[in-house]
Amino acid sequence: MKFIVTGGAGFIGGNFMHYMVNKYPEDQFINLDLLTYAGNLETVAPLEGKPNYRFVRGDIADRKFIFDLFAREKPDVVVNFAAESHVDRSITDPEAFVRTNVCGTTTLLDACRTYGIKRYHQVSTDEVYGDLPLDRPDLFFTETTPLHTSSPYSASKASADLFVLAYHRTYGLPVSISRCSNNYGPYHFPEKLIPLVISRALADEKIPVYGTGANVRDWLYVTDHCSAIDLVVRKGLEGEVYNIGGHNERTNLDVVKTILRSLNKPESLIEFVKDRPGHDRRYAMDPTKIETELGWKPEYTFDTGIPKTIEWYLSNREWWEHIVSGEYQKYFDKMYSKRLAEGENA
């Protein structure tokens, strides 16, 4: 089978590329990524040279580019991770989120419709369900919870989900959607809470905590997300949505304090700052459907995944220090300019 994986130079897409390329040597994987500020080829550098892996730089919202690529490659499966993914950025620049997250998705769907596809899989988020109150720990998001978004980011992701389902009903496109809770683990861009806390604490810099730090997120180690998507793509039913999560709810303040303790850093680094506008209070996934119908089980809890993550950031300082310094953006030129000039890669 030939896969096009979009956003494979980002955090989760990059982890998914590692997971799939190594697990399925008989399948072909094309990593299609625009390399925005969030894309980092250093994340997938260990895959370069593998016979079942290729990188192609391009924009999922560029219709001509996408149609040409599909005409040439005729993929069997598309897994769409590519997105603008940071809620805070969506509050300052919503337009980029509409372009990539909505128009990029419809462009991919149209290419799938035109050239045929065995499965189009949309990587979505728990944020499409909005938030839950802090004083109702008995409530969880299920696949039938109404969509009720808060931020421009979540509105764009919910919109994309609706297009995916509409293309299934109207055109019979074989689609699936997974909606996952907050991920953490290797290769996480240090604008997001967990890698931001680790990298700033190591530099003895202040840790900004929004509001009172009481907001709750449901954390999943990234390879557990990858195994769930693999399962949905291969065994999930067409037209279905699957929630992914591992029941690992923590307040933001708990997360920050846990990391500071592990790094032997003082809580005095914490600085409470002005809250995020429209800040979702609590996310909590009910993953019963994927567990019972597909037999998925996460390997890690927060208590086993967080030390592993901290260890990774300590052993891979170069990876995140290149991001902090901006060095990572030179990687594409270093790796590809010669080959591009020689016409080896698109």
The count of chain residues that interact with ligand NAD, using the rule CB under 6 A, is 29
> Binding of ligand NAD at residue 219 (CB under 6 A)?
no
Q: Which of 4, 39, 69, 309 binds ligand NAD (CB under 6 A)?
A: 39
> What distance in Å separates the CA atoms of residue 321 and residue 18, rounded to the nearest whole number?
21
Instruction: Give catalytic residue positions.
Output: 126-127, 153
Distance of CA 286 to the CA centre of its chain: 19
> Binding of ligand NAD at residue 229 (CB under 6 A)?
no
Place of tokens 């500020």: 37
Give the binding site for ligand DAU (CB under 6 A): 85-87, 125-127, 181-182, 192-193, 196, 208-210, 215, 217, 252, 276, 283
> Binding of ligand NAD at residue 59 (CB under 6 A)?
yes
152's contact among ligand NAD, ligand DAU, none, with CB below 5 to 8 A by partner kind, is: none
Closest of 321, 329, 192 to residue 259, by C-alpha:
192
Residue 256 CB, nearest distance to ligand DAU (Å)? 8
> Binding of ligand NAD at residue 227 (CB under 6 A)?
no
In this chain, which residue has its C-beta nearest to ligand DAU? 125
> What distance in Å separates the CA atoms of residue 124 and residue 211, rounded to the nearest whole number?
26
Across the strands, what pairs with 176?
121, 240
61's contact among ligand DAU, ligand NAD, none, with CB below 5 to 8 A by partner kind, is: ligand NAD
Residue 283 CB, nearest distance to ligand NAD (Å)? 10
> Binding of ligand NAD at residue 233 (CB under 6 A)?
no
DSSP string of 87-116, one letter each residue: HHHHHH-HHHHIIIIIIIHHHHHHHHHHH-
> What distance in Å separates the CA atoms of residue 104 and residue 300, rounded to the nearest whole number?
32
With beta carbons less than 8 A apart as the criterion, state whether 143 and 90 touch. no
> Binding of ligand NAD at residue 103 (CB under 6 A)?
no
> What distance in Å separates the CA atoms of residue 208 and residue 346, rounded to the nearest whole number?
41
Stretch that binds ligand NAD, among 59-67, 163-171, 235-243, 316-324 (CB under 6 A): 59-67
HEC profile of 143-156: CCCCCCCCCHHHHH
With beta carbons less than 8 A apart as the criterion, state whether 153 and 84 touch. yes
Nearer to ligand DAU among residue 223 and residue 252 (C-beta): 252
Nearer to ligand NAD among residue 13 and residue 186 (C-beta): 13
In this chain, which residue has its C-beta nearest to ligand NAD? 10
Alpha carbon separation from 335 to 78, 152, 223, 328, 341 (Å, rounded): 25, 35, 27, 11, 12
DSSP string of 277-334, one letter each residue: TT---B--B--HHHHHHH----S--HHHHHHHHHHHHHHTHHHHHHHHHTGGGGHHHH
Nearer to ligand NAD among residue 17 and residue 117 (C-beta): 17
224's contact among ligand NAD, ligand DAU, none, with CB below 5 to 8 A by partner kind, is: none
Residue 181 CB, nearest distance to ligand NAD (Å)? 7
Residue 188 CB, nearest distance to ligand NAD (Å)? 7
> What distance in Å separates the CA atoms of residue 316 and residue 216, rounded to the nearest whole number?
28
> What distance in Å separates the CA atoms of residue 269 and residue 261, rounded to the nearest whole number?
12
Residue 191 CB, nearest distance to ligand DAU (Å)? 6
Residue 324 CB, nearest distance to ligand DAU (Å)? 15
> Binding of ligand NAD at residue 90 (CB under 6 A)?
no
Given the rule CB under 6 A, which residues bind ligand NAD?
Answer: 6-7, 9-13, 33-36, 38-39, 59-61, 81-83, 85, 100, 104, 123, 125, 157, 180, 182-183, 189
